[in-house]
Amino acid sequence: MKHYTGLISLLSRRTMPQSQVPALAVSRRYVWLFKLALLAALLAAVHFGGGWLMHWLDGYLGASFARWGDWALLLWFIIYVLALATPFVPGVEISFAIMLLLGSKGIVAMYLATLIGLSLAYAVGRQVPLTSIAAMLAWLRQERAGKLVQTLAQVPRDQQLDYLLQIAPVRVIPFLLRHRYLALALAFNLPGNALIGGGGGIALLAGLSRQFRYPYYLLMLCVAIAPVPVLLLLTGWRPF
């Protein structure tokens, strides 16, 4: 009797028709594309919205210095730090405008603001748990990357670099990992790095990776962002 009952229950189960399997795969693909488009739209909104805001604020730059003096410099210092620390928000216009308007004082202020802004983005990245990154990758249906990050989260921090070097599938990746500070310095100065979030996005990723110690990261920043300020200080070039 038990055998007949088991057979009846087995036959009564609903099984998915084979014709629905491709449809399910297509449906999942559309869901993934929708999530990717949603993320791209969000990043585009941040980029263009932040760019519009920075351009609008730039129109008040000269007037604010004429009216408030050094207090205006402090205000723009804070604005630039926050803009630079936010991925995909362009703030270079304000930096160059202040350096050219105020000369050496503006150059030193923007250099320090850049160090603070990129350090802030790095610090935020360091505070994001690897499990949250893995969950985000899983939401985007990047299962392999999500599993890698999930596994990396279980590896002791001082052994994570060795683990990544062992599993790296391409020879260039171990090279970049071993020379990661140089690669990061080049990324900060790479034309078109706005596509990966600009300076703030790169600094955030550096913090997320857990592969950069802050003292060495800060030393790298001091050198990587120095060429333009040093050039302006040495030449004393001011258009006004």
pLDDT tens-place string over residues 40-65: 666 566 556 555 555 655 555 656 66
* Reported confidence tier of residue 168, pLDDT bands at 50, 70, 90: low
Tell me the mean pLDDT in the region 175-201: 82
The pLDDT of residue 10 is: 44
What is the token pair recorded at 134? 């893995």
* Reported confidence tier of residue 169, pLDDT bands at 50, 70, 90: low
The pLDDT of residue 41 is: 67
- b/e map 154-183, b = 16+ CB within 10 Å: eeeeeebbeebeeeeeeeeeeeebeebbee
Query: Secondary structure of 63-97 in the HEC alphabet?
Result: HHHHHHCHHHHHHHHHHHHHHHHCCCCCCHHHHHH
What is the token pair recorded at 24? 């399910």
Whether the full predicted model's pTM is greater than 0.75, yes or no, is no
Phi, psi dihedrals of residue 61, rounded to the nearest 5°: -60, -60
Q: DSSP character for 103?
A: T
Q: How far apart are CA 160 and CA 188, in angstroms?
A: 24
Return the minimum-mean-pLDDT range out of 73-77, 194-198, 219-223. Answer: 194-198
Q: Tell me the one-letter amino acid at 52.
A: W
The pLDDT of residue 21 is: 46
Other CB atoms within a 10 A radius of the CB of residue 96 amount to 15
Of 49, 71, 176, 188, which Cα lies nearest the Cα of 119?
188
Report the percent of the chain where pLDDT is more than 70.
54
Mean pLDDT score of the chain, rounded to an integer?
Answer: 72
The pLDDT of residue 181 is: 92
pLDDT at 16 over 50: no
Q: How far apart are CA 6 and CA 101, in angstroms?
A: 85
pLDDT at 176 over 80: no
pLDDT at 131 over 50: yes
The pLDDT of residue 76 is: 81
Give pairs for 184-188: CB < 8 Å, separation 24+: 184/212, 184/217, 184/220, 184/224, 185/220, 185/223, 185/224, 188/118, 188/221, 188/224, 188/225
**According to the per-residue pLDDT averaged within each range, which of 39-43, 99-103, 212-216 is highest?**
212-216
Map residue 137 onto helix, strand or coil: helix
Q: Is residue 86 within 8 Å of residue 50, measured between CB atoms?
A: yes
pLDDT at 81 over 50: yes
Tell me the mean pLDDT in the region 70-82: 83
